[in-house]
Structure 1
Amino acid sequence: MNLHSLLARRTEDAGPVRVGVLGAGKFSSMFLTQAVNTPGIHVVGVADLSTDRARAALDRTGWPAERYAAASFQEALRTGGTHVTDSADDLIDVPGLEVVLEITGNPIAGAYHADRAIDAGRHVVMVNVEADCMVGPVLAEKARKAGVVYTMAYGDQPALISELVDWCRTVGFDVVAAGKGTKYLPEYNQSTPDTVWDYYGFTEEQLATGDFNPKMFNSFLDGTKSAIEMAAVSNATGLLPQEEGLFFPPVDVDDLATALRPRELGGTLSRRGTVEVISSLNRDGSALARDLRWGVYVTFEARTDYAAQCFAEYGVRTDPTGRYGSLYRPYHMIGLELGVSVASAVVRGEATGAAQAFYGDVVSVAKRDLKAGEVLDGEGGYMVFGKLAPAPASLASRALPMGLAHGVKLTRDVAAGAVLSSDDVAVDESLTAVRLRRELESGVLAVSG
């Protein structure tokens, strides 16, 4: 509760935290608009393959042009300004840089950048959940050995869910389920970048701002992003995925404690101690009265009769037994909250959630019949969507992780609805992401329960 004062003290004693931002998309823009007025954070550099896009992001988020006009990193360090570059490697190597924010959204690039940053002695805030759910346990262990922090991004839902789980366990409740809300119908699994805006209903004016990437938003819609985020939560908290993955039941916030409990008690879960994403829409497409589309939740059980009695005495909304309760946060503010992770890593040496072991994975499922010779287009595209699976099941079937389902050529046909195998594609084994994934598959025990 004193993170702000700790950051202020650190700034007074040693200057602001020196941060490098990799990627200049929507999440980065949300962080930048906060960082421009945060004395405790010095954005030394922003790296993006398009420097014009990076400068445009700084401009529209309130940065005066002179603040990001530094001609070099040396000038940025000397003047307190920001240098824009197209080289993530050069930014990672800046002397004295403390924190790297990996916000590219590309799992191959993200794994490489995080690996390099840890080698360079930088703390890593892994906004790139796509990379984290694929190789996070390996990167987290490498960071621990290197004495730096590897952390989820506060403000993004996985970190906020992990915080709720940590609260539950710290105060002594038994965690039953944790997750988030989203807009979901089963038909969305086949959505493509051509159909995504029809489902979302964004206006032409909104789309014209340049912040809306159709593949990224399609990943939110087709279930892939939900699977990715729940795999990351599973690996960070030890909550085991259900064998069937995610069911996306429509659940009103007032019904969380009743719906998000085991089926034998009348709930929707096939196991307790798990992750689940709830839909803001009934299966007929109608909206719930009080949905949790933008928020996160946890459901828990009182361990004693007295604790259950206290629920009743203090107005806790419970299931009919009075033993199951819930807590939820109605919103998450994405990059606007990312400074919490930056400060926590530097002044406390603590992660705002990080992978502990390999509990959950995201497997690639064909959206349509796929033919040998085609090149997969990855997350949010036309060809595959991601599905949550327990790590042992993924390993047993040699499933192709979603993070590797981009830019690889199919070596044989795959039927619509089938889970792709690693044997169905030709993967470049020289990539850092593939090396780390192989290390995870061979060196880290996938936990079952």
Structure 2
Amino acid sequence: MNLYRMLRQRAQAGRPVTVGLIGAGKFGTMFLAQARQTPGLHVLGVADTNPKSAHGALSEGGFTPDRLADGFDAARRDGTTAVVEDADRLIAADGLDVVVEATGNPAAGIRHARACVAHGRHLVNVNVEADALCGPLLAREFSQAGLVYSLAYGDQPAIICELVDWARACGLPVIAAGKGTKYLETFHLSTPDTVWDLYGIARETAERAGMNAQMFNSFIDGTKSGIEMAAVANACDLGVPPDGLAFPPCSVDDLAHVLRPPEVGGRLHHAGQVEVVSSLERDGRPIDRDLRWGVYVTFAAPSNYTRACFREYGLVTDVSGTYSALYRPYHLIGLELGISVASAALRGEPTGAPETFRGDVVAVAKRDLKAGERLDGEGGYCVWGRLMPAEDSLASGALPIGLAHGLTLTQDVPQGTAVPRAAVQLDLTDCAVAARAEMERAFAPQQVAR
């Protein structure tokens, strides 16, 4: 509750927290819009391989031409912002405190994260794709260097981590944690050609807002849900259902009823797991008071006295009065990202960070794939990402979704089956492939039994 006070103190002392943004997409633009309004924050620079995109994002975020600098020296001196194409130049800039990585590219995210360690920068990792691929390894490298590696507040995983932390710090056992989304089973087959109809937005509106069809398709086809729940499972040490996310239909009023253990009639596989709820019934009917844009945690009363307090203070519970839920109906994406930046720089604390390797996300064929076809990664035409327990993923030899881009199949893969690693030729010298192998060696031995 002290971040604003601490930011004002830094502003008054003339020592704002300096932050560099890598990736000037929608998330980054939303952050820029609020960073300009936040005392004690100074956006030192923005790096994007397309400088036109970076200048467009700054303009959308309210940065007028007089607030842009020719280089980092001028930016530091005048409190202005520089634009560069080379992210490594930004990371190495003198006086930089925190880097926000918002490219969405796993390989780029890993390279940038390790550059941050080399230059002593805290990292707020919007790139949850990189986190799902080898986040536990990256977080450990930052910790060993005395730096903060953080999930991005405003994105759902970090806000879920906050709810889980709240429950546990209150002494309330966490039964389930997760988010809402719009889901039907057929959505797993969605492609960038069908995404806007399923998402519920006009193509022209999406294009005018600069929304990337393949990226947004990963939200519809279930991939992003899997990636985000892997991040939560690994950050909060929560279990993963063996058959993947079930996406049960559920309103906010039914969270405590649906997301409780199976032995008392709930839809969970077991207590203490991640799960995503759908805003649609299985026949496509919309659910009243859905949680499509929100997050939740369900928890249990550990005693009869606590159960009585639930009742006395009006908590919505299941019929037994034992299980209840706390939820947040919205998340504000990049508009809230400054919370992570301030927390890392001023408190030395992440807003969620992976500590274990509980969940993994594997590439599953959307259609019958033939040898010789080239995979196009998350949200594309070929595969979607299914959440699995990490030990099951490793035992099956499945290809992580974060590596499923630009690889050519060497064998057929039937629709609905996980792509085997043996069906592609991995470049062992690639930084993402090498980091993933290192992460598995370091963390997989912990996964002995469920």
SS at match of 2:394: helix
Give the match for residue 21 of structure 1.
21
Which amino acid in 2 is paired with 1:126? N
Give CA deviations for 1:406-437 in whole Å, capped at 9, x if unaligned: 01111211111111121111122222222211
Give CA deviations for 1:64-103 in whole Å, capped at 9, x if unaligned: 12212x1111221121111111111111110111111000
Give the match for residue 421 of structure 2.
422
Within 2, Cα distance between the matches of 1:284 and 1:33?
40
SS at match of 1:322: coil
Give the match for residue 194 of structure 2.
195
Work out the percentage of aligned pairs sharing the same amino acid: 57
Give the match for residue 103 of structure 1.
102
Greater displacement, 138-147 / 435-444 = 435-444
Give the match for residue 91 of structure 1.
90
Change (3 A) 1:396 1:266: same
Which amino acid in 1 is paired with 2:385? G
Give the match for residue 249 of structure 1.
248
SS at match of 2:356: coil
Give the match for residue 41 of structure 1.
41
Structure 2: gaps of 5 or more residues:
none
SS at match of 2:232: helix
Deviation of 1:201 after TM superposition, in Å, equals: 2.7
SS at match of 1:167: helix
Which amino acid in 1 is paired with 2:40? G
Give the match for residue 310 of structure 2.
311
SS at match of 1:43: strand
Give the match for residue 121 of structure 2.
122
- Asked if the contact 2:9–2:40 (Cα under 8 Å) also holds between the matched residues in 1, the reply is no
Within 2, Cα distance between the matches of 1:213 and 1:308?
47
Within 2, Cα distance between the matches of 1:96 and 1:434?
32
- Asked if the contact 1:392–1:446 (Cα under 8 Å) also holds between the matched residues in 2, the reply is no
Structure 1: gaps of 5 or more residues:
none
- Asked if the contact 1:10–1:347 (Cα under 8 Å) also holds between the matched residues in 2, the reply is no
Within 1, Cα distance between the matches of 2:36 and 2:208?
20
Give the match for residue 58 of structure 1.
58
Alignment of 1:119-268 (within 5 A): 119-268=118-267
Which amino acid in 2 is paired with 1:215? Q
Give the match for residue 4 of structure 2.
4
Within 2, Cα distance between the matches of 1:204 and 1:431?
36
Deviation of 1:205 after TM superposition, in Å, equals: 4.6
Alignment of 1:64-83 (within 5 A): 64-68=64-68, 70-83=69-82
Deviation of 1:442 after TM superposition, in Å, equals: 1.1
Deviation of 1:213 after TM superposition, in Å, equals: 0.4
Change (3 A) 1:369 1:204: closer
Q: How many residues align structurally?
A: 448
Within 2, Cα distance between the matches of 1:365 and 1:437?
19
- Asked if the contact 2:196–2:203 (Cα under 8 Å) also holds between the matched residues in 1, the reply is no
SS at match of 1:227: helix
Change (3 A) 1:374 1:446: farther
Which amino acid in 2 is paired with 1:42? H
Give CA deviations for 1:314-341 in whole Å, capped at 9, x if unaligned: 0011001101010000000000000000
Deviation of 1:271 after TM superposition, in Å, equals: 0.8
TM-score, scaled relative to structure 2: 0.98
Which amino acid in 1 is paired with 2:95? G
Give CA deviations for 1:241-277 in whole Å, capped at 9, x if unaligned: 0111100000011010010012221110111100000
Within 2, Cα distance between the matches of 1:160 and 1:57?
25
SS at match of 2:340: helix
Within 1, Cα distance between the matches of 2:221 and 2:83?
34
Give CA deviations for 1:339-394 in whole Å, capped at 9, x if unaligned: 00000001100000000011100011011111222211000000000000001001
Which amino acid in 1 is paired with 2:47? A
- Asked if the contact 1:301–1:324 (Cα under 8 Å) also holds between the matched residues in 2, the reply is yes
- Asked if the contact 2:175–2:259 (Cα under 8 Å) also holds between the matched residues in 1, the reply is yes
Within 2, Cα distance between the matches of 1:78 and 1:168?
44
Deviation of 1:14 after TM superposition, in Å, equals: 5.4
